[in-house]
Structure 1
Amino acid sequence: MTKHQQKPASFLERLIFNNRPAVILVCLLISVFLFYQAAQVRPSTSFEKMIPLGHPYIQNMLQHRDDLANLGNTVRISVAAKDGDIFAKDYMETLRQIHDEVFYIQGVDRSNMKSLWSPSVRWTEVTEQGFAGGEVIPQTYDGSPESLDDLRSNILKSGQVGRLVANDFKSSIIDVPLMESYSDPEDRGKQIKLDYQQFSHELEEKIRDKYEAQNPNVEIHIIGFAKKVGDLIDGLVGVALFFFVAIGITLALLLWFTRCVKSTIAVVVTTLIAVAWQLGLLHTLGFGLDPYSMLVPFLVFAIGISHGVQKINGIAMASGETDDPLAAARMAFRQLFIPGMVALASDAVGFVTLLLIDIGVIRELAIGASLGVAVIILTNLILLPVAISYMGISQRAVKQAREEAARNHPFWRLLSNFANPIVAPISIVIALLAVGGGLWYGQNLKIGDLDQGAPELHPDSRYNLDNDFVISNYSTSSDVLVVMVKTAPEGCAHYDTLAAMDELMWKMENTEGVQSAVSMVTVARQSIKGMNEGSLKWETLSRNQFVLNSSIARAEGMYNSDCSLAPVLVFLNDHKAETLEHVVSAAREFAEENNREGLEFVLAAGNAGIEAATNEVIAASETTMLIAVYAAVSFMCLLTFRSVAATLCIVLPLVLTSILGNALMAFMGIGVKVATLPVIALGVGIGVDYGIYIYSRLESYLRQGMTLQDAYYETLKSTGKAVIFTGICLAIGVFTWVFSAIKFQADMGLMLTFMFLWNMVGAIWLLPALARFLIKPEKLRQKV
């Protein structure tokens, strides 16, 4: 045995192994409770969890939520005619039925719902007697050719072409604003949170499936935040399937690695117990699973397998020196518990740094991952060796361990050359070149979305095809930035206010990336023109307050009840990061120049405003989070090994992985956003395990007086195999995500595959090269 193994048993070791039945009983009782809790976990998300609530834009939007009808969480349903246009009796009847069906779906803000059948959608025209107007679909409508002709005329006069009605008159839209919570129909005092998955399913079953089957000439397209999230939650079923595939792959690889059925089952079962405990704790604390936290069970499984493999490998090696399973388990526990604790503590502290990001789903992911790491300490560092102390491992595995320890390994001897004084400098130079190349290409990495539609889903997904249809057939984009104009009560109708709003609209319409801008000024100018015989010369703002008051009376819905807030709607070409940054910068610049007492231009609402706020939070948090996670990991390594050199040997390979990971994201066109930012921190947190296990074993051999290359050879013989196996096993497990129906999970799978493999490569290749220059073996020997 090594001197480390010959050390007297610690209090913790005696407490655990002298009370093995009690340890198993406690774990059993915990399992009964948490398994029941895990069975209650349900998919859960909300609009507010997906946005940075602390950002000024979001606070402004929430403060004025009641004044911004149809500009928040809204679903748009486009009902298209396959043949002909909307001016057909069958089409209009189907549209009416869909409108009524949607109206009664729970969670719909019925008072602000709009379609051609809504009484609030009206037309206006100028006649010889003055203004005339009415509902677009009047009470006299009966579906006759004459009433359809009247409908066509009313639509043309309503200004809804390109908004509620497609430019080619082949489809129309139902705008469906949603409430985050609503009263229980059976108990009005109780509030029910909107269930996005259920709402999405109702839209599919009650609207799309029902009416497309009922009227073959109708095609329905549905877009909006709630629909997108519903589709993402549905994709979780596929992710669960990938989890079982990962378990199967891991089981097969572990059996090949250990040559022992008992230990293989023990590792997988204890790791699955950790996953179940983590899910149970989530439910106990009041959390559910959303499309982003679905990543956590995979991470817990991956981390658990990583530490389980190290434990089994250590027990197998110890079994080569003793035939007593209990003694072998205690020897492995004594040698690996501290490195395992350090690695898991580093993981946990690294995950906790995600709490710095003010977005609910990321914070819940951080909490879930930290809980998972905590339970792995109990299941894989304590329960697993206790279970093996009873079960033992097969004689075949023991025999293999003894043979491995006794014979010379050409492959490990070859890899040990990474610590050779000639090879090590070459490795350092290659690493520096990789750092330089990664930093250079990583400059192309963007914050936010880089594609139209919902980048979380594949371009050929049903949702993105629906989104493409709406973008192609309507003048008003689905990407809307709202600038809120605040005044004193009754102040939004003053000439100075309207003139400033007109200037803002002109500036925004002449900003790259903007399609058009609409506000109460748009209606006022048209009304003033109408009051002057339709002359284009009069399509401007009058300085006469009575004229202005009359003109904005027709801008219903474009200002709040006391005329103290009026939104300016800016329709964008897309919500790509560059577009948002450019447009928001222009709006902010205008606000800074024109804000004054009694008139304030406030950013921002609309889905584009939310995206812009999210991008700003991520841009501000990315560097802070990376510094925090590296500081936390470095501190844990420094605290454990009491050596700056050892800390650098472990952390610098992780830095290289992060730099190359950013370059890979830039090459693949993946932006840094809510879905991908956690992967950067998680990759560092999990990757540190490899370095800690390798360095702790390397240090123990150096303390025995070995040269660096010989010590590294012995390290590879004992731990290197487990590290390489773990990296490959985990990479294969998460690579299955590449086939996910959810694009951001496919991207995460690819990124994690890269990070698992490259962190393993960095620990095997770069760590010994760094040790050649940073570690002084003679100083370690002096400390023995």
Structure 2
Amino acid sequence: MTSKSRNNPAAVLERLIFNNRPAVVVLCIIISVFLFWNAAQVRPETSFEKMIPLKHPYIEEMLEHRDDLANLGNSVRISVENVNGDIFDKDYMETLRQISDEAFYIPGVDRSGLRSLWSPNVRWTEVTEQGFAGGEVIPQTYDGSAESLNELRDNILKSGQVGRLVGNNFKSSIVEIPLLEEFPDPNDQSQLLKLDYQEFSHNLEEKIREKYQLENPNVKIHIVGFAKKVGDLIDGLVSVALFFGVAIAITFALLLWFTKCMKSTLAVLFSTLIAVGWQLGLLHLMGFGLDPYSMLVPFLVFAIGISHGVQKINGIAMASGTALDALTAARMAFRQLFVPGLVALSSDAVGFITLLLIDIGVIRELAIGASVGVAVIILTNLIFLPVLISYIGISKKAVKVSRENAERDSPLWRFISNFASPVVAPFSVVIALCALIFGLWYGQNLKIGDLDQGAPELHADSRYNLDNDFIINNYSTSSDVLVVMVKTPSEGCSSYNTLKAIDDLSWRMENTPGVQSVVSMVTVSKQVIKGMNEGNLKWETLSRNQHILNNSISRADALYNSDCSLAPLLVFLEDHKAETLSTAVAAVEDFAAKTNSDEHMFLLAAGNAGIEAATNDVISASEIMMLIAVYTAVITMCLITFRSITATICIILPLVLTSVLGNALMAFMGIGVKVATLPVIALGVGIGVDYGIYIYSRLETFLRMGMPLQEAYYQTLKSTGKAVLFTGVCLAIGVATWMFSAIKFQADMGLMLTFMFLWNMFGAIWLLPALARFLIKPERLRQAKE
């Protein structure tokens, strides 16, 4: 053995591993038993706070004043529709009462804030000759008779709830259910339980929708809200398990076709499934579960593990042609492929880690899970797999096929090697440049945030989005609410100057595109002042008399806090599309910049629309930063490995082209950059670099032997081209099954990752050699070797 091989880190590690093969196998078995047991404990879980950027100023303000914003945070709305009449029906009202009572006792409900027509906190008010009169919308004397129903109709009309709790056509009404993230354990009041979104969603389905639609065929129930949406997403994870099984079956068939060897096929699958199990077990030990977004990670770990396993099997099969036995072949392949594989996986991991820059819990957990999975693959597929093959070997048929492929000329690889020819390479570069310019131009249409109404994470025809459409079409106040918090000194929210400023902002927002209506304590104050003046419309304005103002806001329930230091202004939006949110937020910020003072401050933002706006802001600020970070990390890894700027350029530029075209594809398909799609950018770059690293490492080897570029590339394709093609297909298959998911954002992620994996593979095979024609100097590589 030469001194050079002794100093080679791969050679040193090779001796350490293969001289202690039994210990490696036993250690792997022990770790597998422990981590697979932990993996079995992993459960689907998520939380409201994991889905939002907790460090954003909007969210910090919302959380600081959470106790003063009851019913304006995480909540669910149940709309009960009478399909064959209106709500003024005895049977309908009894069903509504039962639903309201049933919802009251569901674990996780903030019972003090629940509102429906049956709630005592839903009241009516009118002006009479004796002054103000009022009471509960459904009085204690209600008995379901025709007289009671007529009285109910009058009370609803006087309550101001038409379009809010009652449908505009009087065919439905809503039960509003505010939720608690943590609540006392019914069995032990000293213990707090976290809201289980899946269980809560199932309770809504079983105890509300299924039960009462079955009992009363005339009733149809529609449910919307963050908790219901997340519950539906978690339920969609069941289908993901099926997709995983389909991906395994397809991969097995392709592996068997590729290797022509059952033993090596099973070995690759076995080692890769071990990696998936280890990754899930480690996640459980770290205190993480699986949410709808991190469900992508096991697919990625499986796909990456298979791709690197294929490279190992291909290398061992080629080495078996000259090696004396399976052990020698495994050691030769390990020595040759460990460093490129380690660099590729390290680049993957570093690319994933850059997602930690994004201040959203689910994305950070995805980054951690993916990085752990890549680290595990280094142990299972780069180390354990060669050791396993050294015991079981590769079939003679597979070795024979590999030797024949190496000896005979390949018309396919000879044709593809023309990409490195001096005639074709310039055309390739020009085509790539045109594609880059087109991608940059069309990619300008890419939007931040949601581009559709309802829940874009779900398909348009999903039950949740159909329910959301019903509420949008039948109520004046949508489910998309932007809450502006008006902060004042204690007892200061009722001052004339503050109320006048709130009134001015209300007028401005009502005239802002995308806004349906605005409600605040000023809305109630004006109505009360008008009522105190015989209902005369000219008095529907703010009084400068402080005593009158104090009296007028006393009826503005839930529109100011206990010490009158915070007053929410509710802006009901037509939808939560990115443009709608940015327009509304810009209007509020502009107004606040001009009017904020020591007396009152207008702060953004609460409500689901405020949270969406904060999330969009974080994603917009993080997108470029994350791209710079992931490319910096990958470039650094390539520079350390190949110690060549030109080599790094050859590897990186195809990735850049893929990123640009990926953005253009998202713009074309109407997919916005959001929590679900932002990780795709980092994942596509981090994993896509694998192709370039494997191809260039082999190409450099042949160039150092003195071969011309085109011949060196031909030999590269013969030795690793099939494995690279197969790697691209395996990576694509691992996520392509997601395109058939019932969850739209999973389908979008599957489509985008499939495109990026395949295009990265094509870019490495097509563009890398063309760039090498202009950038790589073979004579310098030969001189460096000498």
Question: What TM-score do you get using the length of structure 1 for normalisation?
Answer: 0.99
Q: 1:584 to 1:328 in 2, by over 3 A?
A: same
Which residue does the alignment assign to 1:366? 367
Task: Tell me how far 1:2 sits from its aligned partner.
Answer: 14
Which residue does the alignment assign to 2:74? 73
**What number of residue pairs does the alignment pair up?**
784
Which residue does the alignment assign to 1:342? 343
- The amino acid of 2:452's aligned partner reads D
Aligned partners of 2:481, 2:715: CA distance in 1, in Å?
A: 62
Q: 1:207 to 1:186 in 2, by over 3 A?
A: same
Task: Tell me how far 1:503 sits from its aligned partner.
Answer: 0.2
Which residue does the alignment assign to 1:152? 153
Aligned partners of 1:721, 1:129: CA distance in 2, in Å?
A: 91
Aligned partners of 2:701, 2:528: CA distance in 1, in Å?
A: 85
Aligned partners of 1:279, 1:481: CA distance in 2, in Å?
A: 38
Matches within 5 A, 1:158-197: 158-197=159-198
Which residue does the alignment assign to 2:440? 439
Which residue does the alignment assign to 1:760? 761
Deviations 1:288-325 (A, max 9, x none): 00000000000000110110000000000000112300
Mean Cα displacement is larger for which, 428-437 or 184-193? 184-193
Are the equivalent residues in 2 in contact too, given 1:448–1:615 (CA < 8 A)? Answer: yes
Task: Tell me how far 1:7 sits from its aligned partner.
Answer: 8.9
Task: Tell me how far 1:186 sits from its aligned partner.
Answer: 1.1
Matches within 5 A, 1:345-494: 345-494=346-495
Deviations 1:681-728 (A, max 9, x none): 100011000000000010011111111111100000001110011112
Please say if 1:517 is aligned against 2:524. no
Are the equivalent residues in 2 in contact too, given 1:181–1:192 (CA < 8 A)? Answer: yes
Which residue does the alignment assign to 1:745? 746
Please say if 1:286 is aligned against 2:325. no
Are the equivalent residues in 1 in contact too, given 2:635–2:648 (CA < 8 A)? Answer: yes
Which residue does the alignment assign to 1:736? 737
Are the equivalent residues in 2 in contact too, given 1:424–1:772 (CA < 8 A)? Answer: yes
Aligned partners of 2:20, 2:380: CA distance in 1, in Å?
A: 16
Please say if 1:263 is aligned against 2:238. no
Are the equivalent residues in 2 in contact too, given 1:5–1:331 (CA < 8 A)? Answer: no
Deviations 1:638-660 (A, max 9, x none): 00100001111111100000000
User: Does the residue aligned with 2:236 lie in a helix, a strand or coil?
Assistant: helix
Deviations 1:227-261 (A, max 9, x none): 00000000001111101100000000000000000
Task: Tell me how far 1:508 sits from its aligned partner.
Answer: 0.2
Task: Tell me how far 1:440 sits from its aligned partner.
Answer: 0.3
Which residue does the alignment assign to 2:609? 608
Aligned partners of 2:5, 2:464: CA distance in 1, in Å?
A: 59
Q: 1:189 to 1:32 in 2, by over 3 A?
A: same
Are the equivalent residues in 1 in contact too, given 2:74–2:179 (CA < 8 A)? Answer: yes
- The amino acid of 1:737's aligned partner reads W
- The amino acid of 1:322's aligned partner reads A
Deviations 1:121-144 (A, max 9, x none): 000000000000001011111111
Which residue does the alignment assign to 2:26? 25
Which residue does the alignment assign to 2:333? 332
- The amino acid of 1:303's aligned partner reads I
Please say if 1:215 is aligned against 2:216. yes
- The amino acid of 1:289's aligned partner reads L
Are the equivalent residues in 2 in contact too, given 1:618–1:672 (CA < 8 A)? Answer: yes
Aligned partners of 1:308, 1:533: CA distance in 2, in Å?
A: 83
- The amino acid of 1:508's aligned partner reads M
Task: Tell me how far 1:730 sits from its aligned partner.
Answer: 2.4
- The amino acid of 1:61's aligned partner reads M
Are the equivalent residues in 2 in contact too, given 1:351–1:681 (CA < 8 A)? Answer: yes
Structure 1: gaps of 5 or more residues: none
Task: Tell me how far 1:729 sits from its aligned partner.
Answer: 2.7
User: Does the residue aligned with 2:470 lie in a helix, a strand or coil?
Assistant: helix
Cα root mean square deviation, aligned: 1.3
Are the equivalent residues in 2 in contact too, given 1:5–1:335 (CA < 8 A)? Answer: no
User: Does the residue aligned with 1:553 lie in a helix, a strand or coil?
Assistant: helix
Task: Tell me how far 1:188 sits from its aligned partner.
Answer: 1.2
Aligned partners of 1:615, 1:424: CA distance in 2, in Å?
A: 41
User: Does the residue aligned with 1:665 lie in a helix, a strand or coil?
Assistant: helix
Task: Tell me how far 1:11 sits from its aligned partner.
Answer: 1.9
Task: Tell me how far 1:735 sits from its aligned partner.
Answer: 1.6
Which residue does the alignment assign to 1:692? 693
Aligned partners of 2:370, 2:62: CA distance in 1, in Å?
A: 31
Aligned partners of 1:328, 1:84: CA distance in 2, in Å?
A: 79
Task: Tell me how far 1:557 sits from its aligned partner.
Answer: 1.1
Aligned partners of 1:446, 1:180: CA distance in 2, in Å?
A: 31
Are the equivalent residues in 2 in contact too, given 1:5–1:334 (CA < 8 A)? Answer: no
Aligned partners of 1:692, 1:643: CA distance in 2, in Å?
A: 13
Are the equivalent residues in 1 in contact too, given 2:56–2:618 (CA < 8 A)? Answer: yes
Aligned partners of 1:302, 1:646: CA distance in 2, in Å?
A: 26
User: Does the residue aligned with 1:443 lie in a helix, a strand or coil?
Assistant: helix
- The amino acid of 2:273's aligned partner reads L
Deviations 1:545-601 (A, max 9, x none): 111111111111110000000000000011000110011000000000000012100
Aligned partners of 1:162, 1:14: CA distance in 2, in Å?
A: 76
Which residue does the alignment assign to 1:122? 123
Are the equivalent residues in 1 in contact too, given 2:498–2:599 (CA < 8 A)? Answer: no
Which residue does the alignment assign to 1:675? 676
Are the equivalent residues in 1 in contact too, given 2:302–2:734 (CA < 8 A)? Answer: no
Which residue does the alignment assign to 2:647? 646
Which residue does the alignment assign to 2:778? 777
- The amino acid of 2:76's aligned partner reads V
Aligned partners of 1:500, 1:3: CA distance in 2, in Å?
A: 81
Please say if 1:658 is aligned against 2:659. yes
Are the equivalent residues in 2 in contact too, given 1:418–1:766 (CA < 8 A)? Answer: yes
User: Does the residue aligned with 1:612 lie in a helix, a strand or coil?
Assistant: helix
User: Does the residue aligned with 1:566 lie in a helix, a strand or coil?
Assistant: strand
- The amino acid of 1:17's aligned partner reads F
Aligned partners of 1:288, 1:494: CA distance in 2, in Å?
A: 49
Which residue does the alignment assign to 1:238? 239
Task: Tell me how far 1:3 sits from its aligned partner.
Answer: 13
Aligned partners of 1:386, 1:574: CA distance in 2, in Å?
A: 57
Structure 2: gaps of 5 or more residues: none
Task: Tell me how far 1:616 sits from its aligned partner.
Answer: 0.3
Are the equivalent residues in 1 in contact too, given 2:224–2:468 (CA < 8 A)? Answer: yes
- The amino acid of 1:302's aligned partner reads A
User: Does the residue aligned with 1:483 lie in a helix, a strand or coil?
Assistant: strand
Are the equivalent residues in 1 in contact too, given 2:688–2:757 (CA < 8 A)? Answer: yes
Task: Tell me how far 1:732 sits from its aligned partner.
Answer: 2.9
User: Does the residue aligned with 1:131 lie in a helix, a strand or coil?
Assistant: strand
Matches within 5 A, 1:514-593: 514-593=515-594
Matches within 5 A, 1:20-99: 20-99=21-100
Question: What TM-score do you get using the length of structure 2 for normalisation?
Answer: 0.99
- The amino acid of 2:247's aligned partner reads A
Aligned partners of 2:390, 2:460: CA distance in 1, in Å?
A: 52
Task: Tell me how far 1:610 sits from its aligned partner.
Answer: 0.3
Aligned partners of 1:597, 1:566: CA distance in 2, in Å?
A: 15
Which residue does the alignment assign to 1:252? 253
Are the equivalent residues in 1 in contact too, given 2:6–2:12 (CA < 8 A)? Answer: no
Aligned partners of 2:377, 2:677: CA distance in 1, in Å?
A: 25
Aligned partners of 2:445, 2:324: CA distance in 1, in Å?
A: 58
Are the equivalent residues in 2 in contact too, given 1:352–1:370 (CA < 8 A)? Answer: yes
Are the equivalent residues in 2 in contact too, given 1:4–1:335 (CA < 8 A)? Answer: no
Which residue does the alignment assign to 2:321? 320
Which residue does the alignment assign to 2:303? 302
Aligned partners of 2:577, 2:4: CA distance in 1, in Å?
A: 56
Which residue does the alignment assign to 2:623? 622
